[in-house]
Amino acid sequence: MLIPKDSTIFFPGYILHSQFEDAETYNPDRYLNHPKLAMDYAGSPDFMNRDHYSYGAGRRICPGIHLAERTQWRVVAKLLWAFDIRPGLDDEGNEVELDTDAYAKGFLTQPLPYKVRFVPRSEKHKEIIRRDLKEVEDFLRKWE
């Protein structure tokens, strides 16, 4: 295929909806056949065996894919370890139901604003998070 000079090509992130049957249903089991890291699949010529395209594709794939994937894993693991993620509260203190279908329509898909609460799992969890925060602040202070 000839792509004219100075063309802009967008890779639609929504492409995964065509890859999975019943794509709107939360089903982590669909990734059981992808035990490796994203880079292992991103470099494969078998594009139908990709687990996702979040880091792009082809020669323009994200050069920080390794760092990004490991950082995201660590951040999400720490959040899930430390906090119960609960529905937000309205002005009367009642829980607000989360609308899982509330997305902005357009070229880039993103969730509409929503409310949730991060509730520490225990006082010990709070202490550890505060200690970790202080260590990070102390470490980064030299670059202020």
In this prediction, residue 12 carries a pLDDT of: 67
pLDDT values of the chain reduced to their tens digit, one per residue, 144 residues: 888 999 887 766 666 666 778 877 888 888 888 888 888 877 777 777 777 777 877 777 888 988 998 999 999 999 999 999 999 999 999 999 999 889 888 777 788 999 999 999 999 999 999 999 999 999 999 999
Q: Report the alpha-carbon angle 3-5-10, nearest 5.
A: 60
Domain for residue 2, yes or no? no
Domain for residue 71, yes or no? no
In this prediction, residue 135 carries a pLDDT of: 96
In this prediction, residue 132 carries a pLDDT of: 95
Claim to verify: residue 95 and residue 46 sit in the same structural domain:
no
Claim to verify: residue 88 and residue 59 sit in the same structural domain:
no
Domain for residue 134, yes or no? yes
> What is the domain range of residue 58?
11-63
- The whole-model pTM stands at 0.69
Q: Are 100 and 93 within 8 A, CB to CB?
A: no
Domain for residue 53, yes or no? yes
In this prediction, residue 86 carries a pLDDT of: 96
Domain for residue 40, yes or no? yes
| Widest CA span in the chain | 61
Domain for residue 77, yes or no? no
Domain count of the chain? Answer: 2
In this prediction, residue 10 carries a pLDDT of: 73
Place of tokens 């070229």: 107
In this prediction, residue 101 carries a pLDDT of: 85
